[in-house]
Structures are given as structure tokens and as C-alpha cells.
A and B are shown apart, each in its own frame.
Chain A
Amino acid sequence: NAGVTQTPKFRVLKTGQSMTLLCAQDMNHEYMYWYRQDPGMGLRLIHYSVGEGTTAKGEVPDGYNVSRLKKQNFLLGLESAAPSQTSVYFCASSYAGRETQYFGPGTRLLVL
């Protein structure tokens, strides 16, 4: 099993450009999450999904959109990137809401 994978691993964007980050899990987990991690801030939840076709906002959802069309995939979109979105993005999944989360390796995004 690959666990949780993320693509791309690293990306540089110019302000105003758009991109999609892909998260995939092969553990048949219902729940999936997108976080961002900034120095001194810890991980902050952007959006999450409790099952295929569902999404919900987390703590810092502004500027991001998500989709969960297939159970194994959770996409995070940036429609118009801003320098404030420079961060490390982690995807995670869990079998149920209170269970252990498994993280992907992260995507480092730099917005110039």
C-alpha cells in the first residue's frame, strides 16, 4: 500500500496563477483533510471531507476550494494564488472521524 500520496511535491507559482494539489489514499478511508503548516503556527485545517461527494470548511478555507469526486482522491484548488498562500500543504486521511490520521509527505508551495 502506498498510503497517502500527494502531487506535486514542490511548486512555484506567480501571484494570480491557479493550481490543483492532488491527494490520493489507498486505505479506503472515509475522511480526508487538507492542512497548511506555517512556521510557528502549527497545522491549520483548510477543508475536510467525511465521505465521497461531501466537503466542509475548516479553520482557514478562504482562497481555497476542494472536491471529493472519488473516495480515494481529495483535490485542493487555488484559483488565484497569493503570496500569503506560500506554505507546506499536508493531506491526511482517517478511517473514521475520531481515528488516527495518516499524512501524505506534503507539498511545498511558493507563491511569488
Chain B
Amino acid sequence: RKEVEQDPGPFNVPEGATVAFNCTYSNSASQSFFWYRQDCRKEPKLLMSVYSSGNEDGRFTAQLNRASQYISLLIRDSKLSDSATYLCVVNLGQNFVFGPGTRLSVLP
């Protein structure tokens, strides 16, 4: 089993839609959690950290369930500019493990 797994995608959604991404991790010792965004042929950039209490940043909401080892990202009112690959990232103390990513295409 891979350490971090994500929805295989791709997700093709119309503008204005709500879309949810799921991520599971296998190492219960994982210490911190993130969602990164990667545009085509660009470097990954931090979208948001994920906290146990859940956190929201504008149209984006992240949730963490440590008991189920599950992380989610919800995007509301999708914009064309949200089209990208979304990477789930788990920290194991000194290094990070990246999921394979889920590609999102928001269509006009």
C-alpha cells in the first residue's frame, strides 16, 4: 500500500461547482498535513495546512481525521483558475511524503 493515496482523477467540473478531494495516509505517526497545488510544468506551492479542527481559507476547506487517517479538501464555487493538480502531503518528522496528485479541470 502506498504511504499517501489520493483520488485518481481527473476531475472535470463546470465553473461554480463544488468539488471534494480525498486523501488517505498509512503512517499513524504522521505529524503534519498539507495540501499543495501544482500548475502544469510548475513547482508545487502550498495551498493550505490541515489541522485536526479543520480549517477554511476563502472557498477552500480542509479536514483531517486522524482516527481514520483521512484528509479532505473541498473547493466551493470553482473558478477556471482552480484548474491544477492538487497534492496531498504528509510529514513524518524530518521528511515529507507526497501523494500522486489529483488533477482538476474547471470548465467554462
Contact = CB atoms under 8 A, between A and B. Distances in A.
Interface of A: 31, 33, 35, 40-45, 48, 50, 56, 58, 90, 97-98, 100-106
B93 A97 contact: yes
Contacts, number: 49
Interface residues of B, number: 21
B12 to A, nearest CB: 18
A104 B98 CA distance: 16
B43 A106 contact: yes
B94 A50 contact: yes
B100 A42 contact: yes
A90 B100 contact: no
B44 A90 contact: yes
B94 A104 contact: no
A42 B98 contact: yes
